[in-house]
Amino acid sequence: MGYKSTKKLCCVYLLNKYFFSEYQKKISLSKFGFVFPFFKKRICYFLYVCFMEFRTIVPCKKLQYPISHQSGIVLLGSCFAENIGHLLDVYKFNVEINPTGILYNPFSIADALHMLMDGVHCTEKDIFKAGNLWHSFRHHSRFSHTDANLCLEGINSRLDIASRKLSEASWLLITFGTAYVYTLRETGQIVANCHKLPASLFDRRRVGVGELLQEWMPLTERLFKSNPALRILFTVSPIRHLKDGAHENQLSKSVLLLFVDELCRLFPENCFYFPSYEIVMDELRDYRFYDAGMTHPTEQAIDYIWERFSESCFSEETRMLNREWAQLEKALHHRPLTPDAEAFRTFSMQNLFKLKKIREKYPYFDLSEEINSLESFLKTL
338: three-class secondary structure by DSSP: coil
Res. 251: pLDDT tops 70: yes
pLDDT average, residue stretch 317-322: 95
Are 135 and 101 contacting, i.e. CB atoms less than 8 angstroms apart? no
CATH top class, domain 72-314: alpha beta
DSSP strand pairing (72-77 vs 94-97): parallel
pLDDT at site 151: 97
pLDDT at site 234: 98
* Position 364, amino acid: Y
pLDDT average, residue stretch 186-208: 96
pLDDT at site 36: 47
pLDDT average, residue stretch 297-311: 92
Res. 346: pLDDT tops 60: yes
Q: Which of 38-47, 124-133, 327-336 has the highest mean pLDDT?
A: 124-133
pLDDT at site 31: 45
> Phi/psi at 92 (nearest 5 deg)?
65, 35
Q: How far apart are CA 118 and CA 338, in angstroms?
A: 57
Angle at 75 between CA 70 and CA 79, to 5 degrees: 135
pLDDT average, residue stretch 144-173: 97
Res. 22: pLDDT tops 60: no
> Given pLDDT bands bounded at 50, 70 and 90, which one contains residue 45?
low
Q: Is the pLDDT higher at 345 or at 15?
A: 345
Q: Is the pLDDT higher at 57 or at 220?
A: 220
> What are the residue boundaries of the structural domains of the chain, listed by start?
3-51, 72-314, 334-380
Res. 32: pLDDT tops 90: no
Listed in sequence order, the DSSP H helices in the chain are: 3-14, 21-26, 35-51, 79-90, 106-118, 148-168, 209-226, 246-266, 276-278, 299-313, 316-332, 341-361, 368-380
The radius of gyration computed from the CA coordinates of the chain, to the nearest angstrom, equals: 26
> Given pLDDT bands bounded at 50, 70 and 90, which one contains residue 35?
very low
